[in-house]
Amino acid sequence: MLVIPAKQHYNIKTIKEAIQPHLNKTVKIKCNLGRNKYEIYEAKIIKLYNCVFLIELTENKIIKSFSYADIITKTIKIYE
């Protein structure tokens, strides 16, 4: 799983710094859709912005975006 520094309060800056080393690397992303439904993507993190980051799926080259708040709220989890 993505290593995020242990702090009581996470913020966008700490999440972005934790994702930075994984830029242009292949990771697995588990997305919680609710009601015990999940999607698992194998993707490459391609771009980091102020509030969101972009991934490109390895299978069909679709680009998706997620916010850093999705990681804080545990809507998505990133695995190496």
pLDDT at 6: 58
In this prediction, residue 72 has a pLDDT band, given cuts at 50, 70 and 90, of: confident
Sign of CA dihedral 17, 19, 23, 25: positive
Judge if pTM exceeds 0.75: yes
pLDDT at 20: 93
Q: What confidence tens digit (pLDDT) does each residue in 5-45 have?
A: 555 577 888 899 889 999 999 999 999 999 999 999 999 99
Rounded Cα distance between 56 and 62, Å, is: 6
Q: Which two tokens stand for residue 33?
A: 């859709």
Q: Domains of the chain (ranges plus CATH)?
A: 12-79 (2.30.30.100)
